[in-house]
Amino acid sequence: MCGRFTLTIEDRELIAALLGVPLDDVDESWQPRWNVAPMQEHWIVRATSNGEDRELVRATWGLVNAWDRDRNGGARQINARAESLEERPAYRDAFRVARCLVPADGFYEWTGEREARRPFWIHRPDDSLVLFAGLYAEAQLPGEVRPTTTFTIVTTEARGVPSQIHPRMPVILDGDEAADAWLARGQSPEQLRALLRPAPEGALVARAVSRRVNAVAADDPSCLAEAEAETQGALF
């Protein structure tokens, strides 16, 4: 699964260029995140209404559909298993017409006994941007004055280093071609399913980080402080 992630890039111009969106989409409220948690607001990239360009929009992590009674269920829909997207009513329509990219530069997973679980930050060796495959929905529930955009991260079977920590991992779309294909209209289910595969061996590394990240309220560079050497060596 993916229950926390990071996007620590500070430069607005750089993030706009990396995501292929207009700089105006990256407004002055942009700030780096070291501990994005479920039910918090983040950013997603989706195709524009003409289907030819990309736009960056705010969205809450935890998918909520128009038929849901309230938004509390979004906490149970932060991840969507790639293997069942076409079967689950919560994700079926979004898989067909509302796919998005979730920008990040790493994600957290935990290992060990519950009382002493150790957090690891999983990322590219060069700490560069990754794009998770995502789905989004816009829903205005009874009593709300406007629609709210929400999203979920698609997960798949883990491979390589992530598999030593957790059996699931986010689907990482490898390169612009895969990202464009995920956003493109008119894709067949077979074409889309072909994109939902684990990251290749060697694509990701992990390091033990501060247990401070366990607290949802913690969101600063110290979350990525490297843990003591004995913790680091316990797994890798």
* Contact predicate 79/1, CB 8 Å: yes
The strand pair at 168-170 and 41-47 is best described as unpaired
End-to-end distance of the chain based on CA atoms, in angstroms? 20
Answer yes or no: 55 catalytic: no
- CB-based contacts of 229: which residues, under 8 Å, 6+ apart? none
Of residues 13, 83, 100, 109, which has the active-site annotation?
109
SS3 74: helix
Per the CB < 8 A criterion, the answer to whether 38 and 78 are in contact is yes
> Are 103 and 29 a contacting pair, CB within 8 Å?
no
Tell me whether residue 28 is one of the annotated catalytic residues: no
- Estimate to the nearest angstrom the gap between the alpha carbon of 91 and the chain centroid: 15
User: In 3D, which of 14, 27, 214 has the Cα closest to residue 114?
Assistant: 214
Question: Among residues 2, 41, 226, 228, which one is catalytic?
Answer: 2
Per-residue tokens: 79: 């991840």
How far is Cα 210 from Cα 117, in angstroms, rounded to an integer?
11
DSSP assignment of 2-53: ---EEE----HHHHHHHHT--GGGS-TT---EEEE-TTSEEEEEEE-TTSSS
Task: List the catalytic residues.
Answer: 2, 109
